[in-house]
Amino acid sequence: MKNAPLILCCLLVSNCVAQEVDLSQLQLPPGFSILVYAQVENPRQLALGSNNTVFVGSLRGRVLAITDADGDGAADQTMVIAERLNSPNGVAYHDGDLYIGEINRISRIANVDSKLSGLQRTETVNDSLPNRRHHGFKFLEVGSDNKLYLPVGAPCNVCEEDEIFAGLYTMNLDGSGMTKIASGIRNSVGFDWHPQTGELWFTDNGRDMLGDDTPACEINRITSVGQHFGFPFIHQGDLPDPQFGRGKSAADYTPPVLKLGAHVAPLGMVFYRGDSFPASYSNTLFWAEHGSWNRSQKSGYRVMMGRVNADNSGITESAPFVQGWLQGQRNWGRPVDVLNMPDGSVLISDDMANVIYRISYDG
C-alpha cells in the first residue's frame, strides 16, 4: 500500500522530535498495508500487556506504555512509565507485572496495569548480571514454565571470556535460580518458542572483521538444554575462527537452522500466531534485520519471513516481508522487533526512524 509522507507528532513523550516518515518507500507482499502505530524515541523490544497496551523498551533509559483505547490500530497515548534505567532494551509482561531487561539487572514494575499515569519506581529482581555494554542489551520473555529467559552476550567482537558470557539463561520470576541453558551464542537479541513443538528459536549476530560476506548471522533452535552453538570457535556452523578455531571440529557444535547474510544483524523474531494473514503464513517466522555497519555494501535493514518445514526442524524458504528502509547505500530506518497483536496484525519497532509500524492484511 502506498502512503504519502507523514509528519508525526509525539504523544505525551518529552524530548521526542517529530520527523518525516515516507511509508511509500516500504514494499510489502500484495494485500498488506503499513501504517504508523506510534512515534516513540528509540523503540526496541515490544511486549503486549492487557487491554492491548504495548510496552516498549529503549536504549535511552526509558520504558514506555502505549494505549489504543478505541482499537483503531493507532496509538491514543504514549506514556513514559520508567526512566533513568541502564539501557532497558528488554520488556516482558506476565500476570500483570512488567519485567525490564537492563544491561546489569532485571527489574520489575508490579501491577503495572494500574500504574500507567506516570513515572513508577522499579524494583530489582536480579542485579548479578555483568555491567558490560558491548552486546549487553537484554531481550526478555517469560516461558510456559513461568521462568524468565534472557541472553548474556559476548563482551567483544570475538574472545574467550568468563563462563557467564555468550549464552542464554533462565531464572525464576523472583530472580533466583539463574541457569545457563545454551552456550556459544555471541549476541542474541531475539527469540520465540515454536507454537507446535515448544522449542526455543533465537537469532544470533555473527562476528565482524572477516570480510563482507563471512560469517553468516544465524537463526538457531534449542532441542536440548546444554547445547553449544559454536562461538567463538566455529561460526555459521562450519567456519572455524582463524584464532580460536584451531583444533576445533564443527561436528562438536550445533549448526544453525538457517544461515542469514553476513552482518545483517538479526534482532527480534516471532512466529506468526494470528489468523488474519493468508493461510500460507501459518508456521511462518518473522525476524528483523537491523542492518550492517562494517560492510562495504550495506545489507539487512528489512523484516524477513521464513516458512518452517513440515517437521518443524528448519526453514524451507525465506523472503523479505518488509523492505525499503535501505535506499541504495543510504538507510532511513532500522527495524528491531516484531510483535503479534490480538487482531492478527503485527507491530514493528524502528529505533532509527523513531516509530512503531502496524502491518495488517486487507487483501
Query: Residue 189: which CATH number?
Result: 2.120.10.30
pTM to 2 decimals? 0.94
Structurally, the chain folds into a number of domains equal to: 1
* 248 within some domain: yes
Per-residue model confidence (pLDDT) at position 73: 87
C-alpha cell at 284: 511462518
pLDDT over 70, % of the chain? 95
Give the single-character DSSP code of 27.
Answer: B
Per-residue model confidence (pLDDT) at position 2: 37
Q: Is the model's pLDDT at 41 over the cut of 90?
A: yes
* 161 within some domain: yes
Strand 179-183, strand 227-228: pairing:
parallel
Q: Is the model's pLDDT at 84 over the cut of 80?
A: yes
* 349 within some domain: no
Q: 154-203, pLDDT tens digit by residue? A: 999 999 999 999 999 999 999 999 999 999 999 999 999 999 999 999 99
Note down the domain range covering 223: 128-292
Spell out a b/e string for 226-245, using b for 16 or more CB atoms within 10 Å of the CB, else e. ebbbbbbbbbbbebbbeebb
Q: 7-23, pLDDT tens digit by residue? A: 444 444 434 444 679 99
* 39 within some domain: no
Per-residue model confidence (pLDDT) at position 19: 62
* 237 within some domain: yes
* 266 within some domain: yes
* 339 within some domain: no
pLDDT averaged over every residue in the chain: 94
CB neighbours of residue 316 within 10 Å: 10
Q: Is the model's pLDDT at 59 over the cut of 70?
A: yes
Q: What is the mean pLDDT of residues 121-127?
A: 98
* 254 within some domain: yes
